Amino acid sequence: MHRLALLLFAGGSLLSAQTYDLLLKGGHVIDPKNNLNAPLDVAITAGKIARVAAGIPASEAKAVADVRGLYVTPGLVDIHVHVYAGTGLARTYTGDLSVYPDPFSFRTGVTTMVDAGTSGWKNFPDFRQRIIDRARTRVLAFLNIVGNGMSPAGESDPANMDAEETAKMARANKDVIVGFKTAHYAGEGWPAVDGATKAGRMENLPVMVDFGTLKPPRNLEILMGDKLRKGDIYTHCYAGLRAEVVDGKVNPAMRQGREKGIYFDVGHGGGSFFWNIAVPAIQGGFYPDSISSDLHVGSMNSGFKDMPNLMSKMLSLGMPLEKVIRASTWNPAVEINRLDLGHLTVGAEADVAVLRLDQGQFGFLDSAGARREGNQRLTAEMTLRRGLPLWDLNGRAAPDWKRFDYKKPRLPSTAR
């Protein structure tokens, strides 16, 4: 009887010791917000980061994912995407040119996407109920200063810009609207930038600027010096379409903007990243503050491909791995004032990316289709959203089939 009691006690102790739902064991953690860059285990309970430490016993977790040889980072935060899909509108970003978030995000290590002005105050409610509220990906938004966003009507008519209504819509949706956007403006003067920054001042939110077409006196000097504020974001910083690099050197206005506190974002897209601009800019020490995709149908299968591919391009340009991770996690979270994102702090939501860094000979394309070689390539091995493995390339968090109870099959995590 005494022996039976001991066995029962031992069994109960073992069960009680399993305090974590999932343990990512043996990986190398890079968490720039918390200054972590070392071999560490990450334990997750109830969708939250429970512990980050070396040598957490596997016996303390209900499930263990062997991530030896891999990098464990916060889930990637992509602050420039276009995901207002499903409207039925053809050949427009408020329709067929946008990409549904969930089928693309998790397989690329991305847990948070920020739609960059695809909708405006008039159609944001539809965007929210159609995409944001249905996605498992965390989808946030910059609201376009143009009422109908990136619709077939275009973004160059000042009559369609209303700072007050734009600010009012942001106020009513402050949980998901993180700023304002102006893009593709091809008219005279500054109504798009002025309208967006007016809304930004009203709601104390940043503005992301795709500068559109240069027309005197519209230039980077005035944009950086007089129009944008500290904390605003200049996207497409390696496009070269607006004199970002002049005579092989970074435009002094860009450096002045950085000194002022303006952030510079990659926004690769289908036509906004070129080697002949990025190479001299990086060689001149002008790294991006944030790495983002400008994801849409026209970019996902061309030079851009996905976030790990773009991050690999930055590695090939000489940007250190820690800086690449920072620019893809914590920095973008800071830029959108969402300090709850982009890190692995105990208690934070367990949005995690597990990345494999391969060494070899690889080719990377820019937006023109020009090839440049690199010797490192990142691939997303696992993506956890709220602690659930929604992408697991090699089944690292899954039980072996020989020990799996097929009489009580579990639904795949993506179907829960």
Dump the DSSP string for 235-290. Answer: --TT--TTSSEETTEE-HHHHHHHHHT-EEB---TTTS--HHHHHHHHHTT---SB
pLDDT (mean) for 180-195 = 96
97 & 133 share domain: yes
> Same structural domain for residues 56 and 94?
no
* Phi, psi (degrees; rounded to nearest 5) at 248: 80, 5
| Residues 291 and 206 reside in one and the same domain | yes
Q: Assess if residue 344 is contained within a domain.
A: no
Residue 195 lies in a domain: yes
Phi, psi of 111 (to 5 degrees): -115, -20
Domain-located, residue 363: no
> Please, are residues 139 and 111 in contact by the beta-carbon 8 Å criterion?
no
Residue 341 inside a domain? The answer is no
Arithmetic mean of pLDDT, 280-288: 98
Q: Please report which confidence band the pLDDT of residue 86 belongs to, taking 50, 70 and 90 as the band edges.
A: very high
Give me the mean pLDDT over the 215-232 stretch: 96
Whether the CB-CB separation of 43 and 397 falls below 8 Å is answered with no
- The pLDDT of residue 408: 79
Q: Are strands 263-264 and 249-250 parallel, antiparallel or unpaired?
A: unpaired
**Per the domain annotation, does 4 fall within a domain?**
no
Mean pLDDT across the stretch 116-128? 98
- Residue 121 and residue 212 in one domain: yes
Confidence of residue 411 (pLDDT cuts 50, 70, 90): low
Number of domains present in the structure of the chain: 2
Structural domain range at position 313: 75-335
231 and 201 in a common domain: yes
Residues 110 and 225 in one domain: yes
Is 386 contained in some domain?
yes
* Cβ proximity of 156 and 186 under 8 Å: yes
DSSP per position, 108-126: GTEEEEEEEEEEETTTHHH
Query: Of the given ranges (24-38, 160-174, 206-220, 312-326), which has the lowest mean pLDDT?
Result: 206-220
- Domain CATH code at residue 44: 2.30.40.10
> Do 119 and 141 touch, CB atoms closer than 8 A?
yes
* Selected residue with higher pLDDT from 23 and 18: 23
Do 64 and 128 lie in one domain? The reply is no
Local confidence band at 404 (pLDDT 50, 70, 90 cut-offs): confident
Same domain? 68 vs 135? no
Query: In this structure, what CATH number is given to the domain that contains residue 164?
Result: 3.20.20.140
- Joined together, the tokens standing for residue 66 give 């062997």
Is residue 89 domain-shared with residue 167, that is, in the same domain?
A: yes
Burial 194-232 (b: 16+ CB within 10 A, else e): bbbbbbbebbebbbbbbbbeeeeebbbeebbeebbeebb
Structure token digits, residue 320: 């250190």
Q: Is residue 233 part of a domain?
A: yes
Across 208-235, average pLDDT: 95
Q: pLDDT digit string (tens) for 333-355?
A: 999 999 999 999 999 999 999 99
Specify whether 257 is located in the same domain as 385: no
Report which DSSP code applies to 396.
T
Q: Is residue 65 domain-shared with residue 80, that is, in the same domain?
A: no
Model confidence at 16: pLDDT above 90: no
User: Percent of the chain, pLDDT > 70?
Assistant: 94
Asked whether 123 and 149 are in contact (CB, 8 A), the reply is yes
In a domain, 411, yes or no: yes
Mean pLDDT of the chain: 94
Q: Note the pLDDT of residue 392.
A: 98
Exposed, middle or buried: residue 340 (CB in 10 Å: 0-12, 13-18, 19+)? exposed
Q: Find the mean pLDDT for residues 76-88.
A: 98
Are 62 and 81 contained in the same domain?
Answer: no
pLDDT of residue 213: 82
Q: For the chain, how long is the longest CA-to-CA vector?
A: 92
